Amino acid sequence: MPKHFRCWIALLLAAFFIFPRLASSQIHLESQSFKLGLRSEYFSRLLGGEEGGAMPKLSTYLVSFALSYELKAEFSAAVLLGYSSSSYKELIFRQLPFSIDFEGSGIGGLLAGAEVSKSLFSLGSFKVGALGQFLACIGIAKKYKIPDLAVPGSVEANPSWMRAVAGPVFKLVGQESFAPYFSPCVHYLWGTFSMNQ
């Protein structure tokens, strides 16, 4: 057997016995630092409208993946990516060729955002922490037919919004697989809704 061939076999055997141990410890460390979760949420908000008129309403379902990383003990940051399906009611548009009282559902949007959380201190079985989140929804344009016209017509709805959330988190600890929490947060929502006719 040639000498260089024996050297290659020795290197391959060394790699076979050494690298799996290194790789498994790396995966173990990453699994302790990174967490991937699936979230779902529903919220409904009244939007600012004309004085004396009906208040527009937004209702939306959110589904997102959250990849969080523990930066330090009790302090983590997360990246959020997902999808939203929204419905709007009582929206009135007056700057088109003619006014439209819009009500539409199933308007999709792509979600992206970030979140940070920090545990502050413990009170017996309770942990008190803080949470901050920013979420942006980029709407996917959707067309609707306009009924009762002499000629076919349609409008294209394209909403987008952003939301900032901040507040304390009170968590009951002590159970291994169950940790109920209460979080009275401030939600601030703003955005735009463009309509093309």
Which pLDDT belongs to residue 4? 47
Which pLDDT belongs to residue 53? 63
Which pLDDT belongs to residue 146? 75
Which pLDDT belongs to residue 24? 36
Which pLDDT belongs to residue 12? 47
pLDDT digits (tens, 9 = 90+) for 49-96: 666 567 888 999 999 999 988 887 788 999 999 999 999 888 777 766
Which pLDDT belongs to residue 28? 32
Distances (CA, A) of 118 to 36, 68, 130, 138, 143: 18, 12, 5, 28, 43
Which pLDDT belongs to residue 48? 76
**Low pLDDT (below 70) residues in the chain:** 1-32, 49-53, 95-97, 149-151, 176
Q: In sequence order, what DSSP letters do the residues of 119-174 get, joined into one string?
A: EEEEETTEEEEEEEEEEEEEEPPEEEEPSS-SS--EEEEEEEEEEEEEEEEEEE--
CA dist 25 and 19 (Å) reads 10
